[in-house]
Structure 1
Amino acid sequence: MSLYKTTEELLVILSNLLKVSENECVEFKRAKNNFDVDTLGKYFSALGNEANLKNKLYSWIIFGVDDKTHELTSTNYCIDNDFNKVKKQISDNTTDNISFIEIYTIVVNGKRVIMFQIPAASGTPINWKGFPYGRIGESLSPLSLNKIEQIKTTVNYDWSRQVLEEATIDNLDKDAIKVAREQFKVKHKDDKLIDEVDNLTDIEFLNKARLTINNKITMACMLLLGNSDYDYLMEGYIPRMTWKLYDDFNVIDYEHFGIPFIINIDKIKSKIRNLKYRYMISDATLFPYEVDKYDNYILRELINNCIAHQDYRLHGNINIIEYSDRLMIINEGSFIPETIENVLKDGYSSPYYRNPFLISAMVNLNMIDTVGSGIKRVYDIQKKKYFPMPDYDLSNPNRVIVTLYGKIIDENYSRLLFERTNLDISAIILLDRLQKRYTISKEQSDYLKKEHLIEGRYPNIYISSSLASLTEKKEEYVYNSGLENEFYMELIIKYIKEYGSASRKEIISLLKDKLPNSLDEGTKLSRVRYLLDLLKKEGKIYHDNKSGHSCWKLK
């Protein structure tokens, strides 16, 4: 079950909520036209805190419903369905800038209903403007001290460490245990006692590998080594990895993979069409480079990272979506380092781990490297292949989407990486964003300009002339930086001489494709007006209104 809801799921949820009275985890409001954002913020704090205390993943505020009769009344709140402003207002005033998981609009029997999905607090109460709120029945109230302390105890909750009381070693996959033993010996090959592993019983080995606790099967153990026939023992949640193959728009193939993950990671990896990719990167040789589209280490690292860091409490799948030129690898849960730039800093150490018991076991079974080093190596491998850097989409606070590119996007940028081996990772990431036509901040633009890597006026920035020469991007540089005004003026005069006159529309059509690519349409029009004014002031052309239509002629 995913954290995010389809329309069909929302209709069922609403129907069920309408059948019960208001409680600590749901609030109904008519909100006919507007609703005070400060009151909404207090409810956000209260319902998020109460969801934690009731062991729920989220709570609901529902507009368009009478709070007494539960009749649908319809609401005109944010009638354009643009909720970005209210999301930001909530985020700006809450603990750690938390906002809604999602805000949904549905229509039921012609009545417009808005459903606000509020995440449960985790480890610390959700404050609104510095104060935590709670519920006593249907009423808002300051959150009590005992509730504050109760919420704080959830910070170290580890889903993967839970013991499955009904599970035994007979519910594990024998082949998975065999693979686990082999990988444990690879990981600990320098351990003097490693030969003793073969003499251990299965349960003794699992204890040593920290997959079990005092002979009891844990969630981590079942996830990695469990027999799929017994996945129902995992408290009603069946973890899955799903591979989907897309053409430009449609799914053309797919397959689901359940437990045991230690075996099925190789099966899902085998579904990926990892063809050879040939490309020329240097004029010094006629022999092309030939590499796998996706490096095997990178695939291992990114897929196993999803397993290690997935927030299994959200009951979502790990998804691998394959396109012809890229992979999208998706897992549920917030990105704990907050930004990818933090991870790439020297000496970075995560403040905490979501599934520490599972991560420890995966390190022991050679599934992931020493925590923190893997992502840096992923970037380094892509750099050495002269491929685009991975994209980390963190726009959804409860999901991480990694896009891995399997081919060169812009050959000239790849040549730049080939020639300029001393570029640091921060510069490469920003140039990579420009390559993909992504927006960078003014501060980031200033950094690149200071390093003489770009030119232009923000936001119309482009690769600098020195690098253009290096990467054979001279033609693009000329089009970005623009030609001399005399060149454009000469074209205008030549056109008018050829055809006798020219309307402004015709002149715009003449110059549009010749003006700098870094200019937007409005700026290009302003540039044309400027050129016409220059020619007029120099006495070379004049504006004729007498011929029945507005046009420019030579003097």
Structure 2
Amino acid sequence: MDINKKLQQFLSTNDENEILEYKEAKNQYDFDKIGKYFSSLSNEANLIGKSEAWLVFGIKDDKSVVGTNFRTDTKALHNLKAEVANHTTNRITFKEIYETELDGKRVVLFQIPSAPLGLPIAWKGHYYGRDSSELQPLNLEELERIRSQNSDFDWSIQICEDATNEDLSSEAIQKARELYAIKNPKLADEIKAWDDTTFLNKAKITIKDKITNTAILLLGKSESEYLLSPAVAQISWILKDKDNIAKDYEHFTCPFILSLEAVYNKIRNLKYRYMDGNSLFPQEVESYHPFIIREALNNCIAHQDYTMGGKINVVEFEDRKLVFANKGAFIPQTIENVLKTDAPEIKYRNKFLAQAMINLNLIDTIGSGIVKMFTIQSKKYFPLPEYELSNDSVKVTIEGKVLDMNYALKLASVPDLSLEEIILLDKVQKGHSLSSDEVKVLKAKNLIEGKRPNLHISSSVAKYTNQEDEYIKLRGIDDTYCQSIILEYLAKFKNATRADFEKILLDKLPDVLDEEQKKNKVKNNLQALRKSGKIEPEGRTWHLSKTKKV
């Protein structure tokens, strides 16, 4: 390539755009910014169908040549290729780095490859793009546009070129043999006769004796994790108190087949004793069903987007709550899609890894794991799993206790309620918003009352769940409370306006009422006391009646 001709072409025809960036870089330039520009320019080149993009040092935005002293040592300059590769998706780095002179001033040109089909390029786990010449996070539409170009790409099946069987843990391989034999009992005797290479091929963990990313992830020695870089093979367990302050932590790496059990054993699965005397309740249960812990953790491993360079987090709270988080968008898009389908996914992010985990009896093939998690929680009257989904992460929260014996969880014991209805009632008791169609589903069975967003359990359900007192409180028992406070205030301070009473009472009224409804309740109680002859108005103020009735 005639780099001088290329540079002259840029300067004569092109201002900065999605695939061309000028930087003065007079002496040095921030390494992290270089990485972000690499990600953004590579992704933008893909999106507009170009094979490459360029980052140019020594030229200002107005295309005036000022020269650069960035890494004047040639070896140090070209070391930047490896340094950048350590933090990008699949270690993709500069095609080439060129040095030239223009008007006696040094210019450095970085040739950046377009992101491969179906593979957006991340820098330190984050995807970047451009809006004209502005650096910014790659938006979700662009991210999915790149990913959809080649839905067959699978990070987990890629060959780890520098790895050998020596990089695998013998203890992990033995554990894998045991699990494979459980999954395939008819092959138990044959499995014993296989050498490690044969076993790994048969279990579809390696491919024709070659070590895959899956093999390192599940069976690799801890010191072999670097072979997956920039992917991160790490699970962090963190213990926090009720104030979200970390009290303990531990990090686990390869081999994941052994780390799974180690993480499970860190979680304090204490007994939970029900405080309600209702005979429907068992006396005590484990805070977390073992299946739920293992399913949530295995899902994190199987569905993590390892190209993003993030780790898996398991956060345990002392007040009986677990939060599992992994990197990568939720492929089914919504949890409702999974629950309604209750079938295996058509598309997997890590198809080879998922199949290996199936072969080792770590996950099943029927796709019912999440539904089973919901069912287990509902039968214990615990809150249902709470999923928080974004374009680059999935987080699920598992409660290990009953919250206030609220209605929705008690209704899990009502025989004719479907899982869909229990899920919607769980939303109501958590204060989540419901769509108009979801409200119709619950109102059709008289399960809720009120209007959005102020929905609450209906009286018929309240009676079934022995919660009449709470229901009545929401509907009107607070009238007596309001009136007693009004009378006590006037007895002490002689007079007050309606605004004074609103200041005193609004924050004491049920949260099921909005501010306007609360103000109306204050107004109605003042009028009720007036009609009963206990108070009377004088202009805009109220005072006790001179012939106050008690």
- State whether residues 239 and 258 of structure 1, in contact with CA within 8 Å, keep that contact through their aligned partners in structure 2: yes
Give the Cα separation in 1 of the matches to 2:210 and 2:338. 35
Higher mean C-alpha deviation, range 493-502 or range 416-425: 493-502
> Match of 2:330, as an amino acid?
F
- State whether residues 393 and 402 of structure 1, in contact with CA within 8 Å, keep that contact through their aligned partners in structure 2: yes
Match of 1:161 among 152, 157, 173: 157
- Look up the match of 2:542: 551
- State whether residues 231 and 307 of structure 2, in contact with CA within 8 Å, keep that contact through their aligned partners in structure 1: no
Match of 1:300 among 294, 297, 300: 294
Please report the TM-score for the alignment, with normalisation by the length of structure 2. Answer: 0.72
Give the Cα separation in 2 of the matches to 1:454 and 1:152. 42
> Match of 1:297, as an amino acid?
F
Gaps of at least 5 residues in structure 1 are 1-12, 28-44, 72-100, 105-112, 127-150
Match of 1:352 among 343, 347, 351: 347
Match of 2:177 among 152, 174, 181: 181
Gaps of at least 5 residues in structure 2 are 1-27, 67-125
> Match of 1:25, as an amino acid?
S
- Look up the match of 1:25: 40
Q: What does 1:369-408 align with in structure 2 at a 5 Å threshold? A: 369-394=364-389, 396-408=390-402
Q: What does 1:87-486 align with in structure 2 at a 5 Å threshold? A: 115-118=135-138, 125=145, 154-189=150-185, 191=186, 193-247=187-241, 248-280=243-275, 283-284=278-279, 289-324=283-318, 325-394=320-389, 396-413=390-407, 416-417=410-411, 419-483=413-477
Give the Cα separation in 1 of the matches to 2:34 and 2:226. 30
Give the Cα separation in 2 of the matches to 1:523 and 1:491. 18
> Match of 2:168, as an amino acid?
L
Q: Secondary structure at the match of 2:443?
A: helix
Give the Cα separation in 2 of the matches to 1:125 and 1:304. 28
Give the Cα separation in 2 of the matches to 1:67 and 1:344. 55
Give the Cα separation in 1 of the matches to 2:38 and 2:506. 62
Larger radius of gyration: 2
> Match of 2:136, as an amino acid?
F
Give the Cα separation in 1 of the matches to 2:252 and 2:50. 31
Give the Cα separation in 2 of the matches to 1:300 and 1:320. 12
Structure 1 residues 233 and 522 mapped into 2: Cα distance closer, same or farther (>3 Å)? same
**1:419 positional shift:** 3.8
Structure 1 residues 466 and 209 mapped into 2: Cα distance closer, same or farther (>3 Å)? same
Q: Secondary structure at the match of 2:470?
A: helix
Give the Cα separation in 2 of the matches to 1:186 and 1:19. 50
Q: Secondary structure at the match of 2:387?
A: strand
Describe the superposition over 1:275-301 as per-residue Cα deviations: whole angstroms up to 9, x where unpaired.
Answer: 11111455338x952222111111111
Structure 1 residues 102 and 553 mapped into 2: Cα distance closer, same or farther (>3 Å)? farther
Give the Cα separation in 2 of the matches to 1:543 and 1:102. 65
- State whether residues 246 and 252 of structure 1, in contact with CA within 8 Å, keep that contact through their aligned partners in structure 2: yes
Q: Secondary structure at the match of 2:138?
A: strand
> Match of 2:336, as an amino acid?
E
- Look up the match of 2:30: 15
Identity %: 39
Q: Secondary structure at the match of 1:25?
A: helix
- Look up the match of 2:520: 526
Structure 1 residues 534 and 412 mapped into 2: Cα distance closer, same or farther (>3 Å)? closer
Matched residues, number? 452
**1:450 positional shift:** 1.8
**1:218 positional shift:** 0.5
- State whether residues 344 and 368 of structure 2, in contact with CA within 8 Å, keep that contact through their aligned partners in structure 1: no
For the aligned residue pairs, the C-alpha RMSD in angstroms reads 4.0
Q: What does 1:30-49 align with in structure 2 at a 5 Å threshold? A: 46=44, 49=47
